[in-house]
Amino acid sequence: MKLIWHKQELPLEGWWNLTRRYVAAKFRKQTYGVTDSAAVWGMVESGKNIAIVDCRLANTYSQFGHIPGAVNYPITLFEDDCPNIPDEKQLVVVCYFGFVCQLAARKLVEQDHRDVLILKGGMDAWNAEDRPLEIG
């Protein structure tokens, strides 16, 4: 059987695996919550017991700024366990636009972290609302 799309023959094996993974990801139970920048800023101001995990690359984290009090764990570290991330705190995972942090949040939940949120829109949404940044 040949699979044809726009007069091009698609590779049956690779295409099927990609489609299967995409569909499985869409139907996978979401195990983390989603929050916005106003809620995260409210948590930071109130002194709530949270840990902000910034999963952008280290040079982007330091050069372009980060949420006050955020800890940098680049997404590449999530291949292994991240032992320095506290278990007892609520975690807020942040990235560039809110896509990469979904992978990090899923990995944290797999590592038995109970209360994980992602920042909807990432640092792009944070900067669009002129929230404070720490640089360095």
Provide the pLDDT for residue 3: 45
Q: Which amino acid is at 56?
A: R
Provide the pLDDT for residue 16: 60
- Take residue 5 and report the two structure tokens written for it: 């799309």
Provide the pLDDT for residue 78: 81
Provide the pLDDT for residue 11: 52
Provide the pLDDT for residue 106: 86
Per-residue tens of pLDDT for the chain, all 136 residues:
454 444 455 555 555 666 666 666 656 566 789 999 999 999 999 988 899 999 999 999 999 999 999 999 998 888 776 767 877 889 999 999 988 888 889 888 888 888 899 999 999 999 999 999 999 8
HEC readout, the chain: CCCEECCEECCHHHHHHHHHHHHHHHHCCCCCEEECHHHHHHHHHHCCCEEEEECCCHHHHHHCCECCCCEECCHHHHHCCCCCCCCCCEEEEECCCCCHHHHHHHHHHHCCCCCEEEECCHHHHHHHCCCCCECC
pTM confidence score: 0.74
Provide the pLDDT for residue 133: 92
Provide the pLDDT for residue 13: 58
Provide the pLDDT for residue 26: 59
